[in-house]
Structure formats: C-alpha cells, structure tokens
Amino acid sequence: MISETTYHRPDSLDQACNLLSENPEAVLLSGCQSLGLLSKEGIISLDTVIDLNGVPELSDISYKNGFLHIGALATHRDIETSKTVQKHLPLLSTAATQIADVQIRNAGTIGGACAYADPTADYPPVLMATNATIHSQSSTDSFEYTARDGFFIDYYQSAIGPEEIITSIKIPLPENAGYGFEKLAYRKNDRAIVNVAAILESKDGVCTRSDISVAGVWDTPLLANKTMEFLIGTELTEETISQASDMAREEILVCEDPLISIEYRSAMVGALTKKALTIAKEDLS
Amino acid sequence: MILNFKVNNTNHETNIDPSTPLADVLHDVLGYKSVKQSCSTGICGACTIRINGEARKSCLHMAGQAADSDISTVEGLSQNGSLSPIQEAFIDNFSFQCGFCTPGFIMSTAALLDENSSPSDEEIRDSLHGNICRCTGYLAILDGVKDAAKRMNKGGN
Ligand SMILES: Cc1cc2nc3c(=O)[nH]c(=O)nc-3n(C[C@H](O)[C@H](O)[C@H](O)COP(=O)(O)OP(=O)(O)OC[C@H]3O[C@@H](n4cnc5c(N)ncnc54)[C@H](O)[C@@H]3O)c2cc1C
C-alpha cells in the first residue's frame, strides 16, 4: 500500500519556508489546478505536501509608488475582479478573464501559474511585456527574478529553486500606456495556441515605448525584440503596425506541434500581433 | 489524518489521506452522490461544488485543502423536502436529460445567482463555460438559469 501523504498547513510564510527547508522534496500546494493533473497522471508524487493556503500575507493586491504588487496566492478571479488591477493594469485583468473558466479561476493562483511555467499560459506574456519581477523566499534568503530575463527557463520550467516559495509579483506601471491582449484557442478560454501581450506609449503620435511578448508557440514566452525596436520612433499608423506584425511573424520562433502546422501558427503570430497592437494604439487615446 | 469536512452545514470527521481528491471524499466516503468525477481533469465540471460560496471543481482539490471550509453540494439545496427554485426551474425547462452533469450545472448556477441576481445571457454563458453537457445542447440550460433567476427575484430562496 502506498503510504499516506504527510500534509502541512503552515499559517505563516516563515513557517512555510522552514518546513520546505526541512523537507526539500515536499510539494507546494496553491490552487491545485495544475498539481491535481500532475498527481493524477503520476508525474509527481505527493509524499509530503505544504499547503500554502493558510498563509495570509500572500494574497494581497496593492498599488504603491508606481508598482503593482500581487501576492502569489491571489487567484485568477481575484486578479480579474480587482478594482486595483482593473484601474492600473487592465492588461493583466484581461489576461486573467481568459483563463479557463470561473471554477478554475476561483482556485488557480498567479504564484502557481508562474512556478508551473506552462508555455501556453496567459500571464507569462503579460509579465514579459510589463517587465515584471517575481519574488521568492527560502528559509535563509529572498530572491528576485526578472520575467524577461531568465525566469522562464524552459518547457514547464521556471528558475525557482526547490527550497523557494514564490511570494509576490511586482510590476512597474507605465503612466499613459495603451494595452492589447489577444489569445487564439480551440475554444474560448482554452489553452492558447498563440497569445500576445502588447504595450504602447506615444508622444505626438510617435511611438516612445513598445513591448510585445508572444507565448504558446515556443518552450517559453518570447519577446519580439526587433519588432519592438522597429516601432520606437515611428508614427503609429495602420501601415507601421502592419509592418511590425510581419516582423513579429518573422522573428518569433515557432516549434513543431503535432496538430498545428508551423506555417499556420506563424501566420497567427502575425495576425494576433497586429490585432493586439491595433487595440493598444486605440487604447492610447 | 483526521480531517473535518463541513458539508451543507453538517460536520463530518473522517480519517483520510489528505491528498485524496475532494470529489472522492464527498462521493465515496461521505456519501454525497451528486458529486461525480467524470473527466477528472478539470474540464467537464460534473464535480462542481461550492467552497465558501465559490464554484470549484472538486476533482482538482485535495481533501486537506478543503478541510474546515464551508462546502455545499446539491444535496443541501432543498429545504424541508421542497426543491430549490433552481432545481424546479431546471425541471420545468427540461434543462437536463441524462442528469449526469446536472449537479455541477446547478452549483455553478447557484454561485452565479448569489453574486448576480439578474445575469445577462453573456454572463450566464461565462459562468457555465466550465460545465459540459452532452445531451441538452445548452439552450434549455440557459432557459433554466434565466427562469431560476426570475423565480428567485420573485421571492423564492
Ligand atoms: C482545465 C484547465 C484549463 C486551464 N486553462 C488555462 C488557461 O487557459 N490559461 C492559463 O494561463 N492557465 C490555465 N490553466 C492552469 C491554471 O491557470 C492553474 O491554476 C495554474 O497553472 C496553476 O496555479 P495553481 O495555483 O493551481 O498551482 P498548483 O496546481 O497548486 O501548483 C502548480 C505548481 O506550482 C508549484 N507552486 C504552487 N505555488 C507555488 C509558490 N507560491 N511558489 C513556488 N511553487 C509553487 C506547485 O508545487 C506545483 O508544482 C488551466 C488549468 C486547467 C485544469
């Protein structure tokens, strides 16, 4: 007989970190919306579980000094319905509304989604485009990772170490930006075939900031660096946006998928980038 | 591990592996037969229950995660032997055929109508997006939800 899971439900972050350092093999539990599948498929074994849901300081959502702070345990539903997020970063609440369904959004968390690093997930392109940082803690240290630079390391692999707990996400907020988020899926709110997050800023019609991230097509979310560079200093017109989308289609790497051809997905990268940029541009005014 | 489950306002203390899916605890151990695993991957919604009022998929929760919370299932909806307005509206609008998915649809509907007593078609569709029905073609379910909202606004409970 398989022995019973040892289950811990710490009520503070320090206690959770100490438990994890004493049991480095332990599995952290947030919403269970991905863990439930991993354990059912036998991919992960649940000998020891540390349930984070009793740690109160991890659910906070707040705005301070130009940054949005989101606790790791904030659920997709919290983020979707938070007045603070809707006001300061509608790009993130829009992405949250497109995750699965109400039941899953009620349980799944942003911390769990970051740790899981699903290449088709909906927050990663937003965290890349906004240049967010991901913060974690162990029993002895705290760590900061940059979404754009080394956090999403590989297919379902984030940079979080085995003794770290993600505690929050911190997002620097642009002042007068326009946002676009576009997702293509088989069914509304299914996992993304392609998703794109775009941020634009402009002065007198000329683009002063452009950030574009595409996910769902490669092992990690990607930045469209060349396209972003191209747009800076150009006038934002239908034509330049169209040129930018062609560039994004060219530069974004697309891996093979048994069900969808590379050509189709590349074409969709172009089409969704165009849509996201157009919406971001309209959002500017 | 001894865990306490509060289901429909009744406390159950039971000795169970805390990583057991909540759906199995409710159905197999505690006897709430309305709660069924179907896809077991969080897609179909047949196992939908409410935890602290929120619609949740009980196949994707561990027993330990839900212990000591307020859990509700379809079994708790009727009062003194009378069906709730949602159940009656589902019957009158033929909102189910085989019935397998129905408890999940009803619990999603209950969570929606508690939050929003007059939802638009779009809001109903969004709230039921996580529930799959293979018999009705959904339109009768939408009718049932709209009728339930009307009955509840008229003073049912
Ligand atoms: C049917 C279905 C459809 C879905 N559709 C989408 C979708 O369209 N878009 C989308 O973006 N996502 C989707 N998801 C995934 C969903 O967003 C998950 O909620 C999310 O990926 C994991 O969050 P969680 O809180 O449930 O984490 P859990 O399942 O609890 O944990 C996931 C992993 O992260 C680790 N972990 C959890 N919390 C922490 C932490 N604080 N620090 C370090 N490690 C941690 C766990 O140990 C585990 O390995 C879907 C899931 C399902 C079941």
What are A122-146's pLDDT values in tens digits?
Answer: 999 999 999 999 999 999 999 999 9
Query: With an 8 Å Cβ cutoff, are A33 and B1 in contact?
Result: no
Same domain for A121 and A31, yes or no, is no
Q: Which residues of A touch B64 (CB under 8 A)?
A: 5, 7, 9, 49, 51
Integer Cα distance of A135 and A126 in angstroms: 16
Q: Using the 3D structure, point to which of A149, A172, A195 is the last residue of a domain.
A: A172
Q: List the one residue out of B83, B95, B101, B88 whose CA is nearest residue B34.
A: B101
Interval A227-235 mean pLDDT: 98
Q: Please answer yes or no on whether B59 and A36 come within 8 Å at the CB atom.
A: yes
**What mean pLDDT is predicted for residues A247-260?**
94
| Chain A contact probe: residue of B38, B41, B58, B60 with most A CBs at under 10 A | B60
Residue A257 distance to chain B (closest CA, Å): 22
Q: Does the beta-carbon distance from A104 to B57 stay under 8 Å?
A: yes
Q: What is the pLDDT of residues A89-116, one digit of tens each?
A: 999 999 999 999 999 999 999 999 999 9
- Within 8 A of B127 by CB-CB distance, chain A residues are 102
Q: Which of A172, A205, A228 is where one domain is finished?
A: A172
| Contact flag A106-B60 (C-beta cutoff 8 Å) | no
pLDDT higher than 80, residue B156? no
pLDDT at residue B5 is higher than 60: yes
**Chain A neighbors of B1, CB-CB under 8 A:** 4, 7
Provide the pLDDT confidence category of residue A35 given band limits of 50, 70 and 90.
very high
* Same-domain check for residues A64 and A168: yes
In this structure, what CATH number is given to the domain that contains residue A268? 3.30.390.50
Closest chain A residue to B49, measured at CA = A103
Residue of B nearest to A35 (CA): B60
Asked if pLDDT for residue B155 goes beyond 90, the answer is no
Q: What is the mean pLDDT of chain A?
A: 96
Number of helices and strands in chain B (H, E): 6, 5
- Name A203's Cβ contacts closer than 8 Å, sequence gap at least 6: none
Give the whole-angstrom CA distance, residue A152 versus residue A146: 9
Strand order in the sheet with A206-215: A178-184, A194-203, A206-215, A222-223
Q: What is the pTM of this model?
A: 0.97
The token duo for A80 is: 């979707």
A123 with A227, same domain?
no
Residue A5 and residue B59: Cβ atoms within 8 Å?
no
pLDDT band at A2 (very low <50, low <70, confident <90, very high): low
Q: Residue of the nearest CA to atom 32 in ligand 1?
A: A112
Instruction: Tell me whether residues A33 and B60 touch, CB distance under 8 A.
Output: yes
Indicate whether A183 and A279 sit together in one domain. Answer: yes
**Is A1 a member of any domain?**
no
Counting from 1 in the atom list of ligand 1, the atom nearest the Cα of B130 is 1
Please report, rounded to a whole number, the percentage of residues in chain B having pLDDT higher than 90.
96
Write out the residue range of the structural domain in which residue A102 sits: 56-172
Among B19, B65, B130, beta carbon nearest to A53: B65
Task: Please tell me the predicted confidence (pLDDT) of residue A257.
Answer: 87
Please indicate, yes or no, if residue A277 is contained in any of the structural domains: yes
- Considering the domain architecture, whether residues A65 and A162 belong to the same structural domain is answered as yes
Share above pLDDT 70 across residues of chain A, in percent, rounded to a whole number? 99
The whole-number pLDDT of residue A1 equals: 47
Q: What is the pLDDT of residue A85?
A: 98
In a shared domain, residues A140 and A65: yes
pLDDT digits (tens, 9 = 90+) for A170-199: 999 988 999 999 999 998 889 999 999 999
pLDDT, one tens digit per residue, over B79-120 is 999 999 999 999 999 999 999 999 999 999 999 999 999 999
Number of domains in chain A: 3
In this structure, the answer to whether residues A12 and A84 fall within a common structural domain is no
Q: How many CB pairs under 8 A join A and B?
A: 80
Complex ipTM above 0.90? yes
Instruction: Give yes or no: residues A168 and A182 share one domain.
Output: no
Candidate from B1, B65, B126 with C-beta closest to A4: B1
B104 CA from centroid of ligand 1 (Å): 22
State how far the Cα of B9 lies from the Cα of A282, in Å rounded to an integer: 51
- Ligand 1 atom 19: residue of nearest CA: A108
A162 and A71 inside one domain: yes
**CATH code at A165?**
3.30.465.10
Q: List B145's β-bridge partners, or say none.
A: none
Average pLDDT over residues B12-40: 97
Is the domain of A48 the same as that of A60?
no
| Domains of chain B (ranges, CATH numbers) | 2-76 (3.10.20.30), 85-153 (1.10.150.120)
Give the Å distance between the CA of A280 and the centre of ligand 1. Answer: 28
With an 8 Å Cβ cutoff, the interface of chain A facing chain B consists of 4-5, 7, 9, 29, 32-33, 36-37, 39-40, 46, 49, 51, 53, 77, 100-104, 106-107, 188-189
Q: Which of A172, A192, A212 is the last residue of a domain?
A: A172
Asked if residue A254 and residue A275 are part of one domain, the reply reads yes
> Alpha helices of chain B — where are they, by DSSP H?
22-24, 63-66, 85-92, 102-115, 121-127, 139-153
